[in-house]
Chain A
Amino acid sequence: MTGHTVRLQTLGKVTSCRSDQSLLDAYLRENVWLPHGCTQGTCGSCKLKVLDGEVDHGDAPAFTLTPEEREQGITLACQATPRSDLLVEPLAEVSDDGVVRHPLRDLTGSVVVLEDIARDTRRVVVELTEAMPFNAGQYAELRVPGTGVWRQYSMANPPSETHRLEFHVRRTPGGVATDGWVFASLAVGDAVDVRGPLGVFGISRPQEEPAILIAGGTGLAPMKSMVLHALAEGLVPELYLYHGGRTEADLYDGDLFRALDAEHPHFHYRPCLSEQQWDGASGMVTDVVLEDFATCKGMSAYLCGPPAMVEAAGKVLKRRRMAPRLVFKEEFTDAADLAAAGGPLATAS
C-alpha cells in the first residue's frame, strides 16, 4: 500500500499515511495529538482543513461534514484517507493542555474474566501481551472475531494497570458484538484484538473544581477508571458519582463505590433508580442531581451514557448554572444509525 506524506501546517509535524488509513489514525500512532472524539465520523471534533492536496472523505456523514464544508476543503480526520501528499491544519485549537497523550497501537490479549454483573451487562477483562498506556476515561476498540467489525468500549480499570483492561459490555438484542459474540461464544482464554487508546474524555490532571460524574448504565465504565485514578492521585477536591439505572438489577460495582465513599470523605456515591422505590435515591438520575444541588456554579461535570441522559444532564447542570465549558460529555453513539451507515457500532452494542 502506497504511503502519502501529510504535513500539519502550524505544528510542522509530518507523518506518512497509507491510502487506506485515516489521517487521525496515522497521527495518533506517531503520538502526535490531534483533537478527536468518537473516531466514527459523528462528533465532528476532528475537523481538518486541507490546505493542499486531495483527500477521500470516506464515510463522513453529511450531518457531520456538510457539503459547504467539503467545498471549503474541510474534512474529518477520522474518516479521511489521503489521495495525494497533503498539507492540513486542524480547525480546533491544538493547545498544549499539559495532558500526556499515549500513542494509538494494535495489541492482542486474552480474556481472563468474563462475568455477568448486572442485567444484560458483562464485565470482560483482557490481559494484554504488551502494555497499553492510556488516560482515565479513554476507550479502546475490540475486534469482533471473524468480522472486520470493531466495537468501542471504555476502559474501566485505572490507568495504572496498563496490561489488564476491564470493559463493561451491555447487550443489544441482535447486536453483532453482543448477541453475536460477548453474550454468545466468548469464553475465558479467547484471544482478542485490541486497538487503543482513543478519545479525549476523562480526568487526567489535577483540577480546582469539584466534579460531578453522571453515568447511565455501562456509562459507569470510564467513570470507574476516573474515580480510581482521581482518588489515587488526589486530582479532584470533591467528587460525586451518580449512577442511574431502572432497578437494582441495573446497578453494579456498588460495593466497591460504597467502600470508597466510606474511606474517602471527599468521595460521594449516589446510585439512583428510576423504576424502583428503595432506601437510596429514586427518580431519573438527572432529577436527583437537580434535587441534590442548589447551585453547581464553580463545579465541573463528566457525563457518560445514552444520548438522552447526556442531554438531560446537560440541561440540568445549566439550570444549576454550571459553566458549559466545564461540562464534558461522552455519548453512546446510536448503534442503529451507525449500522445503517456501515460504520462500527459503539459502546452500547
Chain B
Amino acid sequence: MTAVTETPAWIAEITMAELEKNPYPFYERLRREAPVAFVPALGLHIASTRAACQEIGSQSDIWDGVISPAGGRTFGHPNVLNANGPEHDELRGMVDPALQPSEVDRYVDKLVRPIAKRYVEAFENDGHADLVAQFCEPVSVRALGDLMGLQSVSSDKLREWFHKLNVSFTNAAVDENGEFANPDGFIPGDEARAEIRAVLDPLLDKWTVEPDDSALSHWLHDGMPEGQTRDREKIYPTVFVFLLGAMQEPGHAMASTIAGLWSRPEQFERVVDDPKLIRRAITESLRWTSPIWSAVARVNKVDTTVAGTFLPAGSVVMLSYGSANHDGNAYDAPSDYDLDRAPVPHMAFGAGKHGCAGTYFASEVCRIGLEELFETIPNLERDETKGIDFWGWGFRGPVELHANWEV
C-alpha cells in the first residue's frame, strides 16, 4: 500500500483511544492539512471537511455505501448501510414507510409523549438525576422499541444491546496487516447478537402468522407476494443497525442538546421558557456534537480525486460528519454551542442515497422528550459539582448528565 508510506507521523500515530476521548484536535488538523487522508490505524481514508463529506456523500453514482470492517463484523450482510442498487432499494423500501414524515406525524405524539412522561415522573420528585441513564437513553430506546414491536423487551435490555453493539462496531483498529488489532472487542457484540436473535425469533414467528402494525411485522410482509415473508437473514443485519444506531442516537442527541444548552445558561433559560425553541436547540446540538460522528463509509466505483487526494476505485472513505459539522469554512466558532447561529444546514444525518432514514422520527422523539422534561421540571439545573464527559468517535455523546432541581 503506497498510501501508508506517504502518511505523516501525526496521522500514523493516532490511536482509537485518543479519538474516542476527543477527536476534535486531530480532525482540526486533518481539515486544515489533509481533508481526505489515509489513516493506517483504521486501514481506510477519512474525509473530514464539510465539502469532502458533502461531495462523497451525495455523489451516489460514484460512491457506494460500504460498511467499515468492524461494522460489517458486527452487523453481517446485507445491511442497509452497505447494500447498494436494487438490494439497497429493497431494504429502504422495507424501513422507509413507517419513517415518512407524514406517517410519523400520525403516530409520534401518541407514541412518545406517554413514554417521556412516564420516565420523568419516575424521578421528578427526587431532586436529582443522571439524565442520560434515567431519561435520554430510556426514552430513545422505548420509543423506537415500541414502534418496532419490541414492547416485551425492557428498556434496560435495549440499552444494554446498543452499548454492546457499539463497543463492537467502533472496535475499528487494525494492525499493519489490516487484521483487527483487538479481536476480543467483538465479544460483547456477538453476545448481544445471539441474545437478540433468541428474543426476536419467537416474535418473528408470531408476526409471520399474525401480522400486526409493528414495524418489524411490516418488514416481514411488505412488498412480498401473498403468503410469503421476507427471509430473516435479509432482515437481521438491518435489525442490528436499528438496535444500535437508531436506538442510541436520539438519546445522544437529547443529551447533547441539554449539555450544549448548559454551556449557554441564558440560552437554556430561553428554551425552557419557550418550548418552540426546542427544535432549533436540537438542530444546533446535532451540528455541535453529531451523534453519528464517524461511523459510515463509502467506496468508489471508479478512480476519482477528492480535495486533491487521488482515490483509485475501491477506496474506502469514512465520512466524519462530526468533523464536517465543525468546519470553520461553514461555521463561525464551530466548537461553541450557539442557538442563535446562522442556520447553515448541518450534515449530522448524512447525505445522498444512504442518508439517514430516521431523520424526522429521531428529531420528533428528541423534541417531544425535551418538551416533557422541561415542562415537568422547568427548574432543572446542571449539577455544578459534576463534570460533563463526552465519549466516542464513531458515536458520540455525554456519558452522564447530572442535574438537580428544587423539590
Contact = CB atoms under 8 A, between A and B. Distances in A.
Contacts of A318: 272, 378-379
B378 A68 contact: no
A46 to B, nearest CB: 15
Interface in B228-249: none
Contacts of A321: 376-379
Contacts of B273: 314, 324, 327
Interface in A66-111: 68, 92
Given A68-B342, A319-B406, A324 B275 contact: yes
A64 to B, nearest CB: 13
Interface string B367-407: 00000001111110000000000000000000000000010
A299 B276 CA distance: 20
A222 to B, nearest CB: 21
A211 interface: no
A324 B379 contact: no
Nearest to B375: A323
B245 to A, nearest CB: 32
Chain B interface size, as a band, is: 10 to 19
Interface string A299-329: 0000000000000001000111111110100
Given A314-B273, A318-B272, A319-B379, A324 B374 contact: yes
Interface string A323-342: 11101000000000000000
Interface string B308-333: 00000000000000000000000000
Interface string B199-215: 00000000000000000
A137 to B, nearest CB: 20
B87 interface: no
B90 interface: no
B342 A324 contact: no
Interface range, A side: 10 to 19
A325 B371 CA distance: 10
Among A68, A297, A324, the most chain B Cβ lie within 10 Å of the Cβ of A324
B126 to A, nearest CB: 13
A319 B374 CA distance: 12
B173 to A, nearest CB: 44
A89 B51 CA distance: 33
A119 B244 CA distance: 67
B272 A324 contact: yes
B375 A324 contact: yes
Nearest to A91: B276
A92 B276 CA distance: 9
Contacts of B342: 68
A314 B342 CA distance: 29
Identify the interface centre among B342, B374, B375, B406: most chain A CB within 10 Å of its CB.
B375
Contacts of A324: 272-275, 374-375, 378
Given A68-B342, A314-B273, A323 B379 contact: no
Given A68-B342, A319-B406, A325 B275 contact: yes
Closest 5 CB pairs of A and B: A323-B375, A318-B378, A324-B273, A318-B379, A319-B379
Interface of B: 272-276, 342, 374-379, 406
Given A323-B378, A324-B272, A325-B275, 16 more contacts: A297-B376, A314-B273, A318-B272, A318-B378, A318-B379, A319-B379, A319-B406, A320-B379, A321-B379, A322-B378, A323-B375, A324-B273, A324-B275, A324-B378, A325-B375, A327-B273
19 contacts: A68-B342, A92-B276, A314-B273, A318-B272, A318-B378, A318-B379, A319-B379, A321-B378, A322-B378, A323-B375, A323-B378, A324-B272, A324-B273, A324-B274, A324-B275, A324-B378, A325-B275, A325-B375, A327-B273
